[in-house]
């Protein structure tokens, strides 16, 4: 027994002294906290100066999914992993230079948050291959909402939405957020009934499936996306458009509807260059990352202690 213990200690010491190899170091979130202490972020910032977005990304993820990320594991090869509640460890940055399509098919968490989603009104300029929110790390959403159709199904609840009921995921406040959107949309429709045509008939919410033409899971698989009336929701695969035409479609869609969804943590597929005007997806981390970028741009520090704010997809 003594010989085995001694051999283990010698092995650990050898690994720790080998260049590029070290003992994994964990940073666990304090119990009941949804953000990392400033000293941890400062330490990580000093260790990873080449990753300036790291503190804001960690802040956005932990604040938007409280209780699902338990901490970080920093390995000896300088790879950083987020430790999830289901004990899955998800790589933050694989260090690879990837094309747009490669980011769609093999994103890491850094990729997922790299393109800023800008909420609110304003003439959003068309930028090719600019689809904030379309880079999705499946392991992250499986850890939060369910890893299989049956597991997701167990998390679904009926949500009242403007006079109908739809199935949506109750995890992480997604169903509650959609119910709030529906309540405020109903009040809006009472004042502007002509907007109802943009909502109904609905395109749908939950269905476990891949995005058309790919092997990637659709966000509808997790019950966290809703498609409004497809007749008013142009989709890029069906209607190839130039940049100016995309901007016109985007700006002609009722912005009151978009703003109500964004207010409650949803992003709109109409702001993607690969547009999907009917599609709204619960992605609070994207809105949170935008808030943090605004704070940083105003000369503040992007700290996590700030308050949180169809067939082809």
Provide the residue ranges of all domains of the chain, joining segments of one domain with +.
28-117+285-306, 147-282
pLDDT at 294: 87
Q: Provide the percentage of residues in the chain whose pLDDT is more than 90.
A: 69
Is residue 116 within 8 A of residue 290, CB to CB? The reply is yes
Question: How many other CB atoms are found less than 10 A from the CB of residue 110?
Answer: 20
Q: How far apart are CA 200 and CA 52, in angstroms?
A: 43
Q: How far apart are CA 267 and CA 246, in angstroms?
A: 17
pLDDT at 297: 64
Please, which contacts does 13-19 make with residues 24 or more away whose CB atoms are closer than 8 Å? 15/76, 16/76
Looking at the chain, the number of H-run helices and the number of E-run strands are 12, 9
Query: Is the pLDDT score of 213 beyond 90?
Result: no
pLDDT at 307: 34
Residue range 161-195, pLDDT digits in tens:
999 999 999 999 999 999 999 999 999 999 999 99
Q: How far apart are CA 161 and CA 178, in angstroms?
A: 8
Question: How many other CB atoms are found less than 10 A from the CB of residue 57?
Answer: 25
Is residue 20 within 8 A of residue 76, CB to CB? The reply is yes
Please state, in angstroms and as integers, the Cα–Cα distance from residue 310 to each residue in 15, 144, 203, following that order. 50, 22, 6
Q: Closest by alpha carbon to 63, among 278, 302, 279, 243?
A: 302
Q: Specify whether domain 147-282 bears CATH 2.40.50.
A: no
Q: What is the CA radius of gyration of the chain?
A: 21
Please tell me which residue, 279 or 32, carries the higher pLDDT value.
Answer: 279
Q: Per-residue confidence at 301, pLDDT binned at 50, 70, 90?
A: very low
Coil, strand or helix: which one is 272?
Answer: coil
Residue range 215-266, pLDDT digits in tens:
999 999 999 999 999 998 888 876 667 788 888 889 999 999 999 999 999 9
Please tell me which residue, 191 or 9, carries the higher pLDDT value.
Answer: 191
- φ and ψ at 225, to 5 degrees? -135, 150
Q: Closest by alpha carbon to 176, among 52, 310, 266, 66?
A: 266
């Amino acid at each position: 027994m003594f010989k085995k213990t001694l051999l283990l200690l010698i092995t650990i010491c050898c690994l720790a002294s080998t260049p590029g190899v070290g003992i994994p170091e964990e940073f666990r979130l304090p119990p009941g906290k949804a953000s990392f202490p400033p000293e941890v972020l400062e330490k990580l910032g000093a260790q990873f100066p080449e990753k300036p977005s790291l503190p804001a990304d960690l802040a956005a993820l932990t604040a938007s999914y409280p209780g699902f990320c338990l901490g970080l594991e920093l390995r000896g090869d300088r790879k950083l992993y987020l430790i999830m509640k289901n004990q899955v460890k998800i790589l933050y940055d694989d260090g690879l230079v990837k094309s747009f399509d490669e980011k769609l098919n093999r994103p890491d968490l850094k990729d997922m948050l790299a393109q800023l989603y800008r909420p609110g009104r304003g003439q959003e300029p068309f930028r090719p291959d600019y689809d904030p929110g379309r880079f999705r790390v499946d392991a992250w959403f499986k850890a939060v909402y369910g890893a299989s159709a049956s597991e997701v199904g167990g998390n679904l609840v009926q949500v009242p939405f403007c006079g109908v009921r739809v199935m949506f995921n109750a995890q992480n406040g997604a169903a509650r957020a959609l119910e709030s959107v529906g309540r405020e949309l109903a009040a809006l429709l009472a004042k502007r009934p002509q907007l109802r045509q943009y909502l109904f008939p609905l395109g749908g919410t939950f269905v476990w499936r891949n995005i058309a033409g790919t092997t990637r899971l659709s966000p509808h698989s997790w019950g966290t996306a809703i498609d409004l009336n497809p007749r008013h929701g142009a989709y890029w695969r069906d209607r190839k458009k130039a940049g100016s035409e995309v901007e016109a479609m985007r700006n002609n869609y009722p912005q009151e509807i978009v703003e109500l969804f964004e207010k409650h943590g949803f992003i709109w597929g109409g702001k993607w260059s690969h547009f999907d005007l009917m599609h709204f997806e619960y992605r609070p981390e994207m809105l949170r990352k935008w808030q943090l970028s605004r704070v940083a741009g105003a000369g503040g520090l992007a700290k996590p202690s700030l308050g949180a704010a169809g067939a082809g997809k």
